[in-house]
Structure 1
Amino acid sequence: MQDDHYRLLVKRYLEKKSGADELEVFAHLLNEGKLDKYLQEAMDADISAITNGETDVVKTLGSKKNNWLPWLKIVSAASVLLILSAGLYIYLKPAKHLSVAKQLVKKDFTPGSNKAILTLANGSQINLSDVKNGVLAQQGAAYINKSARGNITYQAANTPSTVTTPAAALLNTISTPKGGQYQVTLPDGTHAWLNAASSIRFPAVFSGTERKVAITGEVYFEVTKNKHKPFIVTCANQQLTVLGTHFNVNAYADEKAIKTTLLEGSVNVTNGTRAVILKPGQQSKLSADDNSLLVTDNADTEEATAWKNGMFLFNQADIKTVMSQISRWYDVDVKFEGPLPADHYRGKISRNVNASKVLSILELSGIKFKIEGKTIIVK
């Protein structure tokens, strides 16, 4: 009977069906080493159920082998339970695997949060983290509001404006720092999510025959449909034209290419000399080196938009890509000692955890880190 009970606990945990009480019992029995036998049975019976890309249990690609490092292989009677986020757990051996966590025990790097600066047409700035909810300013015939959820919306004023400058000529900019993110509802109802170290520039009111914005960094759009007024996004040497769709643009200046990933509808992408039309599931890459424009089918849309959903998600990412995301989100500098590792990494973890949790997991693949002030040194 006890065997059946333990097997059921393991089965429900792996299927992510455990309740709070079951998780507490599971953790207690695991730390006592009483579940090792049943976890091994489950791993032997169907290792793919443990290591598939959809599970919320964090996985790391080993630096010596081109396959997943099954998390169960590092379970032991002396395991330490690290609560990464609600419903998300990983069990790690203590001691040598957690060297970076020991370095950060006194001052860890906390995750980013909702913070941004709004720059009005006259150059004045509003710190969106500090101001109270409600009307923040009026730009021509548009009111700027901060909602109870902390988002910014642009709405048409009910009373005539005393400002003589047309709202369409009043350009506003919302910018996030490293360690920040923000959401804005543009004057036409389009929703835009800004990742860390990003910006979007737009008029207080869209008039004329087009809706045009300019971005830096990374922005996810859900564009309000209007077949008579195309929505245009410019960034560096690229211009996107849509009528109404969902897509993500990664245009950080320190990346090798501008990546546009389409989730819904269609997008016309041009680099000035060539134009392509993306279909859902496709991704365009505009090279920073030679301005070439390529299209990839069956793009990993979940990876491209994971940041918006509060996750780090890596699918065959190199170490520079991984550390760039960590640098922006935790507002830290990153330096490399020696040549960059040639390995690629796969994994998924909440962005709501401290940096020590993420770095500790990466250490399992053989990477070593050294912390000096606000700089992470990759050895």
Structure 2
Amino acid sequence: MRYLLLKRDIMNLTEEELLIRISTLIVQEMKGEQHAEDRLLIKKWLSESPENQAVYKRCFDQIMQKKAFESLQEFEKNRDFEKVRSKLFVRPVPQKAFQFKRLLPYVAAACLLIAFGSVWYYNQIGLKIPAENQLSQTDRLPAKNRAIVTFSDGRQFQLNERESEVFISNKGVHYDDGGEVAETQAAQFATIETPRGGIYDVILPDGTRVKLNAATTLRYPTVFATDKREVNVHGEAYFEVAKRKNQPFIVETANQQVSVLGTHFNVNTYGNKSDMRTTLLEGKVQVKELTSGKHIVLLPGYQSLVNKGKLTSRAVDVDQELAWVDGRFNFDGKSLFEVMDDLSRWYNVDVEYRGQMPDVEFFGGTYRTSKLSTILKILKDQNLHYHFTANGKLIIEKN
């Protein structure tokens, strides 16, 4: 299982045990030794509250601030720093420059102190995380659990922002704790839509798990046909398909069809109707371009691309392509406009460009829990500056 974590895995830990576990996982993540299941625990914990996100960020920053200067010095000695400075997004942190194993007990203690201190501080002074509308003219918070369910009979329901996943059955829509969202009145189609600045996880009637990125729509039948399981996607979604030998799972987009029996893959249709990518993590899928009828079979580590009616495939770095599933931005090889498109969806902000924008290529990335202003610091290296208008639009200008 790549990204979904059951609530009982969290609930079985005491608060102190959880904080120790989280701090340990942070160090393992920096060392590159973190297992997929452990990443799920951190992501689940982060989704619980803004306070948890603040604790994690402060703990992470405490380590990075202490080591970043040493790492940057080492980097400058071995590379021509000025040649890559215009492209540099994240500070280089070579693993060999860190001795995390020795730091672990101190990091754990520091994180515990930060965590308990933060809880006390919040309680003592009643500090509140700024609401989105309070930040709209100066900053934007990252996406949160937000989605709408719409049935073909016209009924519409807003999903709970305190929940991160929703279960679909032939009886209706409900949360993990059994709380009901809506009852299915008859066999029909329904959609779950995440807006810009929204994400949600969906468990379909057959047990297939779907993670919806921001600005994504998933259309599904409340009851699957006996011979196939078919859904429609616009936007970006990661699928962990439940295996059913005689009932293939089919994902349709504007111009392609992906057919599987049981596998893990990602579908991205953000670009437009003529630009769609399917990335395979495990198993096997068949991708068909609907206009020409051409099809190919993807193996793990490969990505299909439908562009202007042409269907091709290529080998890719799956971890980079699926960075969003693990809560990261990956900007490797992206232009300024592509980077800002990602940020626009994630932070629910309109972007306006004034003047000639530089033709540059970025590399690196950061965590999706960061505030928008933190990420926009990269613009300074391109002699760009930004500000928010009264209605929250982000203006980017050449200095």
Same fold (TM over 0.5): yes
1:122 equivalent among 147, 153, 156: 153
2:370 equivalent among 344, 347, 353: 353
Question: For 1:236, what is the secondary structure of its paired residue?
Answer: coil
Partner of residue 281, structure 2: 263
Against the structure 1 CA distance between its residues 342 and 229, is the aligned structure 2 distance closer, same or farther, given a 3 Å change threshold?
A: same
Against the structure 1 CA distance between its residues 356 and 242, is the aligned structure 2 distance closer, same or farther, given a 3 Å change threshold?
A: same
Question: For 1:184, what is the secondary structure of its paired residue?
Answer: strand
User: What root-mean-square deviation, in Å, do the aligned CA atoms of Structure 1 and Structure 2 show?
Assistant: 4.1
* Contact 1:147/1:153 (<8 A) preserved: no
Partner of residue 285, structure 1: 305
Residue 328 in structure 1 maps to residue 345 in structure 2: yes
Question: For 2:206, what is the secondary structure of its paired residue?
Answer: coil
Against the structure 1 CA distance between its residues 61 and 184, is the aligned structure 2 distance closer, same or farther, given a 3 Å change threshold?
A: farther
1:214 equivalent among 219, 225, 232: 232
The 2-side partners of 1:312 and 1:149 are apart by 33
Partner of residue 99, structure 2: none
Residue 248 of structure 1 aligns with an amino acid whose one-letter code is N
* Contact 1:313/1:347 (<8 A) preserved: yes
Residue 85 of structure 2 aligns with an amino acid whose one-letter code is G
Q: Deviations over 1:48-79 (max 9, x none)?
A: 9xx9xxxxxxxx9633xx6788558xxxxxxx
Partner of residue 57, structure 1: none
Question: For 1:215, what is the secondary structure of its paired residue?
Answer: strand
The alpha carbon displacement at 1:45 in A equals 6.9
Which has the higher relative contact order, 1 or 2, with Cα contacts under 8 A spaced 6 or more apart? 1
The alpha carbon displacement at 1:190 in A equals 0.3
Residue 313 in structure 1 maps to residue 344 in structure 2: no
1:182 equivalent among 200, 205, 208: 200
* Structure with max Cα Rg: 1
* Contact 2:150/2:191 (<8 A) preserved: yes
The alpha carbon displacement at 1:336 in A equals 2.1
Instruction: State TM-score, norm by structure 1.
Output: 0.68
* Contact 1:233/1:241 (<8 A) preserved: yes
Please give the residue correspondences for 1:166-205 in structure 2 after superposition, counting only pairs within 5 Å.
Answer: 167=187, 170-205=188-223
Residue 231 in structure 1 maps to residue 249 in structure 2: yes
Q: Which has the higher helix share?
A: 2
The alpha carbon displacement at 1:215 in A equals 0.8
The 1-side partners of 2:178 and 2:305 are apart by 34
Against the structure 1 CA distance between its residues 368 and 238, is the aligned structure 2 distance closer, same or farther, given a 3 Å change threshold?
A: same
Residue 322 of structure 1 aligns with an amino acid whose one-letter code is V
* Contact 1:183/1:194 (<8 A) preserved: yes
Q: Deviations over 1:289-338 (max 9, x none)?
A: x21111112x1212221112211111111112100110001110112223
Q: How many residues are matched?
A: 303
Partner of residue 343, structure 1: 360
The alpha carbon displacement at 1:147 in A equals 1.9
Instruction: List alignment gaps of at least 5 residues for structure 1.
Output: 1-11, 52-59, 73-85, 87-103
Residue 138 of structure 2 aligns with an amino acid whose one-letter code is K
Q: Deviations over 1:2-26 (max 9, x none)?
A: xxxxxxxxxx998589xx9998598
Residue 143 of structure 1 aligns with an amino acid whose one-letter code is G
